[in-house]
Amino acid sequence: MSASETERIAYAVIGSAIEVHRELGAGYNEALYEEALCYELELRSIPFSRQHPITVQYKGKPVGEGRVDILVANCLVVELKAVDDLIGIHTSQVISYLKATDLHLGLLINFKVQVLKNGGIKRIVY
């Protein structure tokens, strides 16, 4: 998929997350936001896979499995949080998922903020 198409999808996902946050606010757990965001993606006809399994490899050998919260259109990793502050390990988690999926763009979305677009969304490029 082209970089411009991935950007278009990222923009649509960000709009979807803002809509979810506008409706629900900041007081719920991550699983509830995941459910709501997936429903919003369905409403907008944005293809996605929820709790998408990924194979983790070490030197070319599969050593385990992980799960991406939401894989959108097979080109965008979306990791959801509902925490007071995003910390380095959250970014590292998205980078690990990008490596494992051989993708280049991820969104780290923290719903536990007052205004989602002011610090609740972090773009991560690998």
Each of the 126 residues of the chain gets a pLDDT tens digit; together they read: 788 999 999 999 999 999 999 999 999 999 999 999 999 999 999 999 999 999 999 999 999 999 999 999 999 999 999 999 999 999 999 999 999 999 999 999 999 999 998 889 999 999
Write out the H or E segment, with its range, that includes residue 76: strand 76-81
DSSP state string for 96-107? HHHHHHT-SEEE
Task: Using CB atoms within 10 Å of the CB of residue 89, give its burial: 0 to 12 exposed, 13 to 18 middle, 19+ buried.
Answer: exposed
**In the chain, where the domains are located:** 3-125
pTM for this prediction: 0.94
| 31 φ/ψ angles, rounded to the nearest 5 degrees | -60, -40
- Report how far residue 107's alpha carbon sits from residue 94's, in angstroms, rounded to the nearest whole number: 8
